[in-house]
Amino acid sequence: MSAQEPQLISDPSGPAPGLLESKRRGGGGRPGFVWFVGAGPGDADLITLRGWRVLQKAEIVLHDSLVDPALFEDLGAECVFVGKRCGEHSMSQEQIIELLIGLALQGKRVVRLKGGDPAVLGRLGEEALSVADAGIGFEVVPGVTSSTSVPELAGIPVTHRSLADSFVVASAHRCAEGAELSIPPYLARTTLVLMMARATATEWQQQLLREGYPPELPVALISRGATEQQRVVVTSVASAATDLQAAGLETPVLAVVGRVVSLRAHLASRPIDSAEERIHCQ
C-alpha cells in the first residue's frame, strides 16, 4: 500500500455529505471529466488495461458493490461507495447522478466504476445522458461483461456450433410493476443468461415453463462468479428454484439456461498439476 491510501466511504446510512455539500458550493472553474469504466466480472485482474490506466488518473472514484477492493490499493483517489445490493441502496440513482455531475463541475477527474460492463444492465445510459446534458465531457471504457465471462469461467461457453448459435441476456428483475421478465419463447439453439437471478428464481422458473422451456433443460446457477468464492450448481428448469434455495447461494447469482450447460462437465477449469505449468501461467 502507498502512503497515500484511498479513503473508502461505505456507510450505508447516506451519501457522502461532505462531497455533496462541497459540490453545491460549486467550483467556478473549468469543468472536470467523467470516465465510465467497467471493472470486469469479479477478480481485479479482469479489468481492461485501458480501465486500469484511467483509474490512475482519477481524483474521485464512485464505485459499485461488485468491484474487487484490490483495485483501490495504491490509488491516489478518494473512493466513494455508491452501490446497490438486493434492494439496499447506499444512494438513490438520482443522488448518484447529482454527485457525479457536481464533482465534475468542481473540475474533478471522476471515475464511475461499475462491475462487468457498464452498458450491460449497469445504468450507463441514464448516467451518461445526464452528464452529457450537463455539458460535461466523458468517455466510456468498456469492461468484460459478466453475462458471458462468468459462464465461460465456469466451463460453459454461451455458444457452441453443435448446441447453440445465439444467446440472450436478460435481467431477472422487472422493469415495471406487474410486467413479466424479458424472457423469449424457447428456442433449442438459444442460450438464455439471466442476470441477478436469485431473488426472483421462482418467478423466472415459472415463466420459463410457460414459454415452453422443457422441464429437463439444464440450468447452471453461478454464485459470485469470477471470484475465489464462486459456486456452481447444475440443475434443471423444473428444479432450479428449489435447488437454488437449498444450496444457499449468495448474490450475485447468474443463471444459464440451455444445452450448453452440459459442457461444464468437460470444460470446468482444473487445478494446475506441475510446477512448470504453474510458472508459465503466472
For residue 21, CA distances in Å to 17, 26, 109, 234 come to: 6, 9, 18, 49
Q: Say which of 23, 64, 68, 108 is annotated catalytic.
A: 64
Distance, in Å, from the CA atom of 158 to the CA atom of 193, rounded to the nearest integer, reads 8
Does 117 qualify as catalytic in the annotation?
A: no
Contacts of residue 26, Cβ cutoff 8 Å, sequence gap at least 6: 105, 106
Parse the chain into domains and list their residue ranges.
8-144, 147-267
pTM: 0.84
Q: What is the pLDDT of residue 88?
A: 58
Q: What is the pLDDT of residue 30?
A: 74
Q: Say which of 23, 45, 74, 84 is annotated catalytic.
A: 84
Q: What is the pLDDT of residue 39?
A: 98
Please provide the size of the chain in residues. Answer: 282
Does 11 qualify as catalytic in the annotation?
A: no
Closest CA to 85 of 113, 66, 111: 66
Place of cell 426472483: 200
Q: Which helix (H) or strand (E) holds 137?
A: strand 137-141
Can you name the CATH fold of 8-144? Answer: Cobalt-precorrin-4 Transmethylase; domain 1 (3.40.1010)
Distance, in Å, from the CA atom of 258 to the CA atom of 191, rounded to the nearest integer, reads 5
Q: What is the pLDDT of residues 105-160, one digit of tens each?
A: 999 999 999 999 999 999 999 999 999 999 999 999 999 999 999 999 999 999 99
Place of cell 457452441: 160
Stretches where the chain sits below pLDDT 50 are: 1-27, 274-282
Q: Which CATH architecture has domain 147-267?
A: 2-Layer Sandwich (3.30)
